[in-house]
Structure 1
Amino acid sequence: MTTELIVLASASPRRSELLESAGITFRVAPADINEDALPEEEPIDYVLRLAEGKARASAENESSGRFFVGADTIVLCDGEIMGKPKDRADAERMLRKLSGVAHEVVTGFALYDKERKGVVREAIRTKVFFKQLREEEIQSYIDTGCPFDKAGAYAIQGGAAHMVQKIDGSYTNVVGLPLCEVVAALRVMGALP
């Protein structure tokens, strides 16, 4: 497959690394869309809408490429949708709320076939269990700057690995792209042999 066939509609280095780890050849063409939730929108509907919106927006902006991969990840804790923190206080609030409790990481992904005008969408859920965090752990983690571009203010693959006691489900989903399911969908759509 040529680089022109598969396009990742995301600037996330983590999503790129995951696709590369699967041996997939692709190029990156991020899409900029409004990520505000709609009134009374369910979390699954929200991530699926954003994932598809990113894939379609990238396809509209690009003259080459056939299969466009969009994704969006959120953290769900006690009914709250946690996206990326707005500032330090928001990151502190999120990490305190996640401390000592289980929560869900939900990633919606969409594969848009520009040639056939078809789309495949799926949302993957992973349960994550955090240990009880000490205040100094929260502060020192925030000091690294890592929380500010991560849903729920943490990255399991980085400095927050020690906060996670266990997970139930896809590890790559928590990183930002459920790789097993994405690869399977790319095969079904004919993007991969």
Structure 2
Amino acid sequence: MKIILGSQSKGRKKILEEMGYDFEVIPPNIDEKSIRMDDPVKLTLALAHAKADAVIPKIAEDAILITSDQVVVWRGKIREKPENEKEAREFLTSYTRYPAETVTAVVVINTSNGKRVEGVDIARVWFKPIPEELVQKYLATGDVFHQAGGFSTIHPLLENYVERIEGAPDSVIGLPKELTRRLIKECVA
């Protein structure tokens, strides 16, 4: 059965490729800011379901649809993609004091029978102090505005500043492999 990734995330695409799946990408194009909740688990699940609901009408044949959403929680506060340079800088410099917790929801749907399953994975990232000149270079790439919490642990400018990850590194990137495999199996069973 055809697999569709309902995401524009380069990281999620890379992870699905690493998992050995042949798939097509259909961007969900939703207004993520229109869905608001204080609970990061409920928020990411609601957003992943909204993305799935936006992609389903675009699918012409039976398929397995995978959507995902991620937020970063820092000291109990939800952080999504930074809205401006000031916020991005604040995010990046704060992670040396306290870890960033990634909350990643995955939704998998079998469009042939309508079966829909979901799961959430949580990981933590500790960063070494990031020098100001490196923060400036990272901000200049623009990549900071495309990631929850404003960081990517696999970005060439930041990867050497990751002190440690508690949990699955692929979960921090945006698509936990183990959870995704389990949900796909559940959906086709």
Deviations along 1:117-157, whole A, 9 cap, x unmatched?
22111110001111123323322221232212111111101
Deviation at 1:12, TM superposition (A): 1.3
Deviation at 1:190, TM superposition (A): 1.8
Normalised to the residue count of structure 1, the TM-score between the two structures is 0.90
Determine the C-alpha separation between the residues in 1 that align with 2:82 and 2:34: 15
Of residues 84-93 and 68-77 in structure 1, the stretch that sits farther from structure 2 once superposed is 84-93
Of residues 100-109 and 58-67 in structure 1, the stretch that sits farther from structure 2 once superposed is 58-67
The yes-or-no answer on 1:188 pairing with 2:189 is no
Residues 175, 63 of structure 1: alpha-carbon distance in 2 compared, 3 angstrom cutoff? same
Residues 65, 160 of structure 1: alpha-carbon distance in 2 compared, 3 angstrom cutoff? farther
Residues 92, 42 of structure 1: alpha-carbon distance in 2 compared, 3 angstrom cutoff? same
Query: Does the 8 Å contact 2:96/2:127 carry over to 1?
Result: yes
The residue number in structure 2 matching 1:164 is 162
The residue number in structure 2 matching 1:146 is 143
The yes-or-no answer on 1:17 pairing with 2:17 is no
Determine the C-alpha separation between the residues in 1 that align with 2:35 and 2:27: 22
Residue identity matched to 2:180:
V
Which consecutive aligned stretches of 4+ in structure 1 deviate over 4 angstroms post-superposition? 37-40
Percent identity between the two aligned chains: 28
How many residues align? The count is 188
Report SS of the residue matched to 2:33. Answer: coil
Report SS of the residue matched to 1:189. Answer: helix
Give 5+ residue unaligned stretches, structure 1. Answer: none
Deviation at 1:39, TM superposition (A): 5.3
Residues 39, 84 of structure 1: alpha-carbon distance in 2 compared, 3 angstrom cutoff? closer
Determine the C-alpha separation between the residues in 1 that align with 2:123 and 2:37: 23
Give 5+ residue unaligned stretches, structure 2. Answer: none
Q: Over the residues paired in the alignment, what is the CA RMSD in angstroms?
A: 1.7
Query: Does the 8 Å contact 1:112/1:120 carry over to 2?
Result: yes
The residue number in structure 2 matching 1:114 is 111
Report SS of the residue matched to 1:116. Answer: coil
Residue identity matched to 1:181:
L
